[in-house]
Amino acid sequence: MGKISLSIVAPAYNESASIKKILDEWFSYLDNSKFLSKYEVIITNDGSTDSTLEILEGIKLVNEHLKIIDLKKNQGAATALYKAIDNTSYDWVLLMDSDGQYPIFYLENMIKLLNSDKNIEGIFGSRTKKDGSFLERIGSRSSSLICNLFYQSKIKDFSSIFKLVRSDILKNINLEAKGFNYSIDITAKLLEVKIVFKEVLVETKLRIGGKSNIKILRDGIHRISFLIYLFLRKILIKFNIL
């Protein structure tokens, strides 16, 4: 199996209850990997009001692979993730959440796919079972169906953030979404540049925390608005206006 250089990026907001455990799992796995030539983990602290930053700084004191970007004010997961991407150093970027939803060991399956075809520029993780409320799961499935119609694709999980992408491609796409729509935006923009990709199935863990019904309703409205934007954008691109 060929080796790659890897940057792992993730936003973190008020993750003090779990961030150390998650990073310990990541580092233990990565330190013992046989398919990485070198790696770094970049976490953007998105204005956390708990002890997330202090915990990260403590880990950094004993682990040189960790890089911390500290946003003094909360700017949302999208901005936090984009900041981390901009600061990556290596050839491949693994997009992650810091809530432990995506097990790090699926990285090996991704790299095996990379080594099976030198033309591959990205691997998309597709969740076999999605976490969240019934309304959230329906919203995710519906948005995947709609986006696949827009982009004439057959992606199983359009809104999954778990992706391994060539750094030069990821840094050169124009990411615009705010809030939780950033995962859909990344998938859409990668399709627009006609990335060569494959998918890998991922069995996720339960994430920590929940959402109020008010926030779920607000997020649903935001998602519908963003899908309308993608549809209009697709039309403008088709007619060479964008």
Confidence band (pLDDT; 50, 70, 90) for 239? confident
Amino acid symbol at 185: D
Strands 197-202 and 4-12: unpaired
pLDDT in tens, 197-236: 999 999 998 765 444 344 656 777 888 888 888 889 889 8
- When divided into structural domains, the chain yields a total of 1
In whole angstroms, give the CA distance from residue 95 to residue 20.
Answer: 18
| Unique residue bearing structure tokens 């409205």 | 221
pTM of the model: 0.90
Structure tokens at 23: 């990073």
- Does residue 130 register a pLDDT over 80? no
Positive or negative, the CA dihedral 194, 12, 200, 211 is negative
Residue-number span of the structural domain to which 224 is assigned = 4-238
| Unique residue bearing structure tokens 């997330």 | 52
CATH number of the CATH domain containing 76: 3.90.550.10
Q: List phi, psi (to 5°) of 202.
A: -135, 125
Q: What is the pLDDT of residue 211?
A: 43
| Unique residue bearing structure tokens 């990821």 | 170
Contacts of 213 (CB under 8 A, 6+ apart): none
Strands 36-46 and 4-12: parallel
Q: What is the DSSP secondary structure assignment for residue 207, as one 8-state letter?
A: P
In whole angstroms, give the CA distance from residue 163 to residue 81.
Answer: 13
Q: What is the pLDDT of residue 214?
A: 41
Structure tokens at 29: 């796995």
Q: Where are the alpha helices (DSSP H) in the chain?
A: 19-31, 52-62, 77-86, 106-116, 134-151, 167-171, 182-192, 213-238
Structure tokens at 56: 């990260």
